[in-house]
């Protein structure tokens, strides 16, 4: 929940000064239509002999209106990559740009604001508040930001995930798949009025769901990309979920270990098996 409220674990408190390289990268994200760009990102947890290099110089872009799955063996750095790309963790070195904005020089307050207005999050365990209805859950981030949602805003967000008739229900009265769809509606609304998030990050969005519910959630994410040009970056272990993405990025030991274009679940599973064998 701390993630939703925007309290990031800060790894390197000193902001990297903005220099000509950052300006060049910023121009590049705008001219190449990259929603998110990671440039030589390195993340180290801890110090001394017990230090772990979770990301080791990763350079990667996520194009606007594309759907990317990030896969790799356990401990390969997938969550770290997602957290860095979303401005929740700061890299020890390298740069992260969202829509051309270099996150390095931003204060914690500016970073929190950027996350609130331009980034959506969806988590494996939904992170809904049990005591609130679906409508109240969707409206919550706006209320936390001090903004009263417009009369149709919450209903429209729920309609986009096919749950406009379930707005008065609490999470306990909804199935796992419906809860995740409420979480997706909430992620679409947490920003300046009228604009969707620059990027929607999903961390194992189908991890707690059965096959049928997973399929509904993945079809929904795919439709957001196809019909609304939404950019989606998703970490998953599930080849069937990754088969909905335009691109599958593979990580191993904190480094890029290859990528696949749109592929079937069988092809993705075979590639993952090879990668896990090699690690
Ligand atoms: N807070 C932390 N402190 C120390 N080491 C960490 C921390 N978070 C992650 N790591 C280490 O960094 C590496 C990458 O972790 P990360 O969680 O990004 O991997 P992952 O690919 O998402 O793994 P999984 O699939 O198991 O969730 C691992 O070796 C992990 O043990």
- Residue 49 in domain: no
Residue nearest atom 7 in ligand 1 by C-alpha distance? 45
Contact predicate 228/196, CB 8 Å: yes
What is the model's pTM? 0.87
In angstroms, the CA 99 to CA 115 distance is 12
- Residue 172 in domain: yes
- Cα(78) to ligand 1 centroid in Å equals 8
Helices 134-144, 176-189: axis angle to 10 degrees equals 30
- Cα(160) to ligand 1 centroid in Å equals 34
Which of 261, 258, 233 has the alpha carbon at shortest distance from 67? 233
Residue nearest atom 3 in ligand 1 by C-alpha distance? 45
- Cα(86) to ligand 1 centroid in Å equals 16
- Residue 157 in domain: yes
C-alpha torsion angle, residues 94, 17, 62, 153 (rounded to 10): 140
In angstroms, the CA 277 to CA 143 distance is 48
260 pLDDT higher than 70: yes
For residue 121, the domain's CATH number is 3.40.50.300
Contact predicate 145/47, CB 8 Å: no
Closest ligand 1 atom to 235 CA = 22
In angstroms, the CA 25 to CA 38 distance is 10
- Residue 233 in domain: yes
Closest ligand 1 atom to 204 CA = 27
104 pLDDT higher than 90: yes
- Residue 5 in domain: no
Handedness of CA 79, 82, 84, 87 (dihedral sign): negative
- Residue 112 in domain: yes
- Cα(96) to ligand 1 centroid in Å equals 19
- Residue 197 in domain: yes
The predicted pLDDT at position 193 comes to 54
Neighbouring C-alpha atoms within 13 Å toward the C-beta of 268: 27
* Mean of the per-residue pLDDT values of the chain: 87
Residue nearest atom 17 in ligand 1 by C-alpha distance? 79
- Cα(254) to ligand 1 centroid in Å equals 9
Higher pLDDT among residues 14 and 58, named by residue: 58
Helix (H, G, I), strand (E, B) or coil at 260: strand
- Report residue 24's pLDDT band, with 50, 70 and 90 as the boundaries: low
Which residues contact ligand 1 via a Cβ below 6 A? 45-46, 52, 54, 72, 74-80
From 51, 77, 85, 241, the mutation candidate for ligand 1 (largest count of ligand atoms within 8 A of CB) is 77
- Residue 166 in domain: yes
Total tally of structural domains belonging to the chain: 1
In angstroms, the CA 8 to CA 14 distance is 14
Angle (nearest 5°) at CA 53 between 48 and 54: 140
| Residue-wise pLDDT tens digits, 44-101 | 999 989 999 999 999 999 999 999 999 999 999 999 999 999 999 999 999 999 988 9
Domain of residue 111 covers 64-83+105-278
Helix (H, G, I), strand (E, B) or coil at 163: coil
| Residue-wise pLDDT tens digits, 138-157 | 999 888 878 888 768 899 88
Residue nearest atom 5 in ligand 1 by C-alpha distance? 45
| Residue-wise pLDDT tens digits, 155-176 | 988 998 999 899 999 999 999 9
Average pLDDT of the residues in 238-245: 97
Based on DSSP, count helices (H) and strands (E) in the chain, helices before strands: 9, 10
Average pLDDT of the residues in 128-133: 96
């Amino acid at each position: 929940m701390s993630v939703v409220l925007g309290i990031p674990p800060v790894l390197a408190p000193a902001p990297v000064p903005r220099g000509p390289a950052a300006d060049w990268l910023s121009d590049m994200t705008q001219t190449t239509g990259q929603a998110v760009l990671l440039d030589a990102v390195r993340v180290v947890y801890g110090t001394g002999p017990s230090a772990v290099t979770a990301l080791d110089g990763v350079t990667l872009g996520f194009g606007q209106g594309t759907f990317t799955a990030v896969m790799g063996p356990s401990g390969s750095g997938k969550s770290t990559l997602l957290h860095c790309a979303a401005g929740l963790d700061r890299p020890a070195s390298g740069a992260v740009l969202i829509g051309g904005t270099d996150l390095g020089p931003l204060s914690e307050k500016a970073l929190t604001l950027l996350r609130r207005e331009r980034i959506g999050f969806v988590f494996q365990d939904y992170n809904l508040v049990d005591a609130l209805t679906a409508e109240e859950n969707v409206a919550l981030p706006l209320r936390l930001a001090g903004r009263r949602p417009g009369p149709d805003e919450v209903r429209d967000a729920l309609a986009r995930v096919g749950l406009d008739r379930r707005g008065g229900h609490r999470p306990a009265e909804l199935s796992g798949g419906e809860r995740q769809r409420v979480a997706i509606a909430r992620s679409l609304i947490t920003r300046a009025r009228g604009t969707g998030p620059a990027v929607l990050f999903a961390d194992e969005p189908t991890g707690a769901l059965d096959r049928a519910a997973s399929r509904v959630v993945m079809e929904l994410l795919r439709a957001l990309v196809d019909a609304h040009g939404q950019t989606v970056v998703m970490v998953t272990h599930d080849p069937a979920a990754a088969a909905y993405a335009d691109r599958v990025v593979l990580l191993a030991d904190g480094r890029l270990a290859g990528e696949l274009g749109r592929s079937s679940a069988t092809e993705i599973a075979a590639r993952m098996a090879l990668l896990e064998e090699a690690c």
